[in-house]
Amino acid sequence: MALVNEHFLKLPGSYLFSDIAKKVNTFKITHPRQRLIRLGIGDVTRPLPAACIEAMHKAVDEMADAATFHGYGPEQGYDFLTEAIIKNDYAPRGIHFSTSEIFISDGAKSDTGNIGELLRWDNSMGITDPVYPVYVDSNIMCGRSGVLGEDGKWSNVTYLPCTAENQFVPALPDHRVDLIYLCYPNNPTGTTLTHDQLKKWVDYALENDTLLVFDAAYEAYIHEDNVPHSIYEIRGAKKVAIEIRSFSKTAGFTGVRCGYTVVPKELTAATLTGERIPLNQLWNRRQCTKFNGTSYITQRAAEAIYTPEGKQQVKENIEYYMTNARTMKTELEAAGLTVYGGVNSPYIWLQTPDGTGSWKFFEQMLYNANVVGTPGVGFGPSGEGYIRLTAFGTHEDCQEAMQRIRQWLR
């Protein structure tokens, strides 16, 4: 008989956002006339940039002509897109890559979950806490996280708390860890690390032979000059870090699906006998076996964001969302609440008043203000007592949601 992978049975009953959806659906059934404003799941609302739409139309026309038709593409991505990424995302910052170090994907979530396949199941791992749930859940699935304790923590995971007490700057582990996930600008807290703060992590990784998986999905939202957009701005990072990026929030590709992962050729991991193996060649082998590549039409759309018109349109969309973030931050602080994020990120990390639990405040806000957020505890133990709000709605919904929350809290 077929035996299940019992590590899947260790997972929480459902994904965080599935739990939220169930509670929201219950509310809608019992309150059918109430209009909900959703500031929970980080899905965008602005249309795709016009440059991307134009590129997609052109690519569709190419697919209709035998002379320009595209079938299977390279699993790693087309050179036209990888070259545009290198030229626009890295070269201006003095970072240089070959096209064979850039791997186009169907989004950061997939690569974030799959990258662990390159490593043995018994590597120790560390995560900032709170954190995007996929980091932990994908490692639970392969048995790397250990067992769940009564305190809500996994036995083989080193938790690196990001709290108001440490200004959301996690301390380095006091012991050696094999694999560490970092996400900056951070999801869910919306906070960032300066160049000097990120350098400490790269130095730790170099000293301890640690692999860093750096999720930079929100780098396009960085507004402050001393916040690095890429971990490769730090000297030596190519030897210890994989960087994952997404076009989902940058260019509204949540429904189109495109991102990329950088695996430098200098990056290696060891066998039990001590042989050093380049992870670039392993990731390439993995992708060639399990992934048929992102569609030609999608990659042409992604390429278009690097045109002068595309850059301007992306900038306008990001500014639209960041205007929402500034509005939310101002309004919530005026209501007497403690708020973090919203400066270099489209996320607001709201501290619940009077020590109210995350899920309790979520339900109070749902039923009293008809506004949906995300309970902070769903991102990890250190997220208890917080709610994440996103700035991806319309200006009108964002302003109305703030009015509802302020009126409710009065």
What's the pLDDT tens digit per position in 159-182?
999 999 999 999 999 999 999 999
The secondary structure of 86-128 as a DSSP string is: IIIIIGGGT----GGGEEEES-HHHHHHHGGGGS-TT--EEEE
Residue 5 CA from chain centroid, whole number? 26
Among 409, 406, 378, 399, which Cα is nearest to 129's?
A: 378
Checking if the pLDDT of 148 tops 80, the result is: yes
Are 175 and 286 in the same domain?
A: yes
Question: Mean per-residue pLDDT for 35-61?
Answer: 95
Query: Which residues constitute the domain of residue 203?
Result: 53-306
The verdict on whether residue 123 carries a ligand-binding annotation is no
218 is in an annotated binding site: yes
Contact between 254 and 248 (Cβ < 8 Å): yes
CA distance 169 to 197: 8
**129-147 average pLDDT score:** 94
Average pLDDT, the chain: 96
On whether 248 is known to bind a ligand per the annotation, the reply is: yes
For position 144, what pLDDT does the model report?
96
Q: Is the full-model pTM beyond 0.75?
A: yes
Q: How many structural domains is the chain composed of? A: 2
Q: Which of 306, 338, 368 is the last residue of a domain?
A: 306
Three-state secondary-structure class, residue 400: helix
Q: Examine the domain organization and report whether 243 and 261 are in the same domain.
A: yes
296 assigned binding-site residue: no
* CATH code of residue 131: 3.40.640.10
Q: What pLDDT, on the 0 to 100 scale, is given for residue 21? A: 87
- Is 326 annotated to bind a ligand? Reply is no
Tell whether residue 15 is among the known ligand binding residues: yes
Distance CA(180)–CA(260), nearest Å, equals: 19
Asked if 320 contacts 395 with a C-beta cutoff of 8 angstroms, the reply is yes
Q: Residue 14 — pLDDT band, cuts 50, 70, 90?
A: low
Residues 36 and 163 occupy one common structural domain: no
Q: What is the mean pLDDT of residues 53-72?
A: 98
Q: What is the pLDDT of residues 294-337, one digit of tens each?
A: 999 999 999 999 999 999 999 999 999 999 999 999 999 999 99
Last residue of a domain, one of 306, 328, 352: 306
Read off the pLDDT of residues 200-249 as tens digits, 9 standing for 90 and up.
999 999 999 999 999 999 999 999 999 999 999 999 999 999 999 999 99
Residues 316 and 259 in one domain: no
What is the arithmetic mean of pLDDT over 137-150? 94
Quick one: 172 and 249 in the same domain?
Answer: yes
Considering the domain architecture, whether residues 375 and 283 belong to the same structural domain is answered as no
User: The domain spanning residue 345 has which CATH number?
Assistant: 3.90.1150.10
285 is known to lie in a ligand binding site? no
Whether residues 138 and 243 share a domain: the answer is: yes
214 is in an annotated binding site: no
275 lies in the same domain as 361: no
Residue 282 DSSP symbol: H
* pLDDT, tens digit (0-9, with 9 covering 90-100), for 342-390: 999 999 999 999 999 999 999 999 999 999 999 999 999 999 999 999 9
Q: How far apart are CA 390 and CA 346, in angstroms?
A: 6
Whether residue 15 is predicted with pLDDT greater than 80 in this model: the reply is no
Asked whether residue 72 is marked as a ligand-binding residue, the answer is yes
Flag whether pLDDT at 44 surpasses 80: yes
In angstroms, the first-to-last Cα distance of the chain is 61
DSSP 219: G
Q: Is 108 known as a binding-site position?
A: yes
